[in-house]
Structures are given as C-alpha cells and as structure tokens.
Amino acid sequence: MIRPFSSLGLLDRVFPILFPGVLFLLLNGCASVSYYSQLASGQLQLLRAREPVEQVIADPGRDATLRAHLAQSQKARTFASEHLHLPDNQSYRLYADIGRPFVVWNVFATTEFSLSPQNHCFPIAGCVAYRGYYNQSAARGEAAIQRLQGMDVSIGGVEAYSTLGWFNDPILNSMMGWGDERLATLIFHELAHQRFYVKDDTEFNESFATFVEQEGTRQWRAFCGLPPDSDSRLKQRDQFIGLVLETRSRLETLYAQPLSAEQMRARKTAEFERLRREYRIMRDGQWGGDKRYDAWVNAPLNNARLLPFGLYDQWVPAFAALFRRVDGDWQTFYREVEKLGDLPTVERKAALKALAQS
C-alpha cells in the first residue's frame, strides 16, 4: 500500500536519524564541514521543493507540457511496480523543480596511471567512486584541486539519484528534458537501486540498475504497443561502449608495465588517439556518419572520463544472462541478485564473470 505523503512528517522522522551521523562527520576537519554541509542543505532543499505529481497535473495554471510529461510518467511509475516488481511507494509520485539542469555534479578522479577510482565512503551509501556536489561551481573547485595534485579528473552532471528508500525521491525538472521514454528509464533505474543495493560495490549496483532500466524499457515499449527500439541505435550504443571498454582494458595492461613516467604518458596519449581513430572508422564505415558520440570523443580524454563506463556497464551482460536463466521472472531474478549480493566480494565478481561468459 502506498503511504500518504507528508513532507513535514517525513522530515521529522528522517532528519533526526541522519543528523547525528552528519554532525559526527562534520567534526573531521574543515573540508568535511564544507562538504557534508552542502550535502545536507542540498538534500533538504530538494525535499522542501517536492509536491504531489497529481496536484501539478490537476493545476491548469502549470505548464501544459510539464503536466503532459508528468501524466505519462505516472503510467510508467505504475508499470514499474505492477510489472517490474519495483518498490511501490511515493518515490517518483512527487515532483520538484530545483531550478537547475542537474541535481548534482559528480567528480571522478584517478591517479595519472591508474583506472582505479578515488573512492569516498559515506555512512548510508557506503563507498562510491565519485564525490557529488549540489553546486556546479563547487564541483569545479574540487576538480581544480584534484588536478593540481596531479590527478585525472572528470565532472559529470547527474539528472537523478536514489536515496535508497530513505526518502521518497521526486521526479526532478532535471529529468524532464529527454522525452517520456527517457523519463521512464530513469524511474526504472533509480527504483532498482531502492529494490536492491550492495554497500561498497558501485560496479554491481550500477550494472544491476542499468540492466533493469534496459530490460524494463524494452518491456515498457511492448506494453505501450510501440515497436522494439531501433536495433541500429542499440547496436551503436553497444559498439561504442565496447570500444571504450577495450580502451580501458589496454590501459590497465599498460599501467601494469614497468615503464618510466614519460614512456607511460606517451603510450597513454597514443591509446586515447587510437580510441578516437577507431571511433571515426566505426562511425563513418558502419554508422553512416552518425555523430551522436562525437562531442564525447572529441573532448579531452583521461582515465577519469572512462570510469562511468566500467561502473555502469561492466556487469550488464551478467545480469542479462541471469534474467534469461530464470526465464524472465522478475521476482526470481531479484532473489538471485540478492544471493549474489550476499557473496563476499571476490566470490561475487567471480560469479558475475561466469554469468557474463555463459
């Protein structure tokens, strides 16, 4: 049963739980005070901005396009719980306009010759491979500091995130720009994080949510009577991701070699040029010149820019294989995912690798 929404009741219930942990963290130096203060104030701003979607839809004074998108979103939200067996709560039945294009900006960082992310650990979410900022200028400031320390750094804007069920997460204005289907996929992805989450394993969590997003979207299109998504577009996406992951693999091999910093730097640059060259060959030879990934490829490349690909896509084939193994039964699939999540890290990765190769 869906609980009735009460913003004040939610704040009264949750913040007394969260603030002791936040205050403890605030005692660990000025940097912690600044960082965790912006996390707390950013989340509080988001909570205060929420309003029930049904009220927005029913208000003739609100933007008609917004109301139409929200109406479609609620169909996808119901589908998520009834057909994908994702949590049935008030998340994504609320709306919040936060007045900016992204809810947070994530800062990824690695050392110059490594693809291991600089992890950051938090009381609730555990350790993750990035640091999030509600203010873009603050994210840029953090990135500048990291670069001065010789790190490879990348900043990525985030349309939505999950509080893992601690709060009723709203649909944000930052989620509205890419059309109804993209909004549905974001809802599926973020609810998957609420459905199951393993502390300290970003690759597992994001790959799981990405698979639920992709398979959920395929089923959503069928439910709506739409044709399957363009095979060519999906093939291009998979080929591009494969190209980036191959580059990651070659760089990992390179960084394990006993080379001087100058040699390593020159060969690292050569690998990124190879990525650009192979992309252009693929784009012009197989995609008919489709330039959808040009902006990403032509921007400055470094280790940190490759991190989201490994985080979000590494184990998607494994979860796809597991879904096939259980004949597409969502409830059984989630039970098997939970079993994987309960395994020690080394055993979990071995099991995922075996699934991906099956």
- Cα angle 237, 238, 241 (rounded to 5 degrees) comes to 85
Please tell me the number of Cα atoms within 13 Å of 173 on its side-chain side: 14
Give the closest residue to 70 by CA, choosing from 44, 97, 45: 97
Pairwise CA distance, residues 333 & 339, whole Å: 10
Report which residue type is found at 227: P
Per 3-state DSSP, the chain is made up of helix, strand and coil in percentages (nearest 5) of 60, 10, 30
Mean pLDDT over 300-310 rounds to 91
Any idea which residue has 């992951």 for tokens?
245
Q: For 65-86, write each residue's pLDDT tens digit.
A: 999 999 999 999 999 999 999 9
Pairwise CA distance, residues 29 & 173, whole Å: 34
193: enclosing H helix or E strand:
helix 180-195
pLDDT at 27: 41
Q: For 43-70, write each residue's pLDDT tens digit.
A: 999 999 999 999 999 999 999 999 999 9
Q: Judge if pTM exceeds 0.85.
A: no
Give SS3 for 156: strand
Report which residue type is found at 66: L
Q: Is the pLDDT higher at 324 or at 160?
A: 324
In the chain, domain spans: 42-223, 231-356
Please tell me the number of Cα atoms within 13 Å of 340 on its side-chain side: 25
> Would you place residue 202 in the very low, low, confident or very high pLDDT band (cuts 50, 70, 90)?
confident
Q: For 261-272, write each residue's pLDDT tens digit.
A: 999 999 999 999
Cα 286 to its chain centre, rounded Å, is 29
pLDDT > 70: percent of the chain: 89
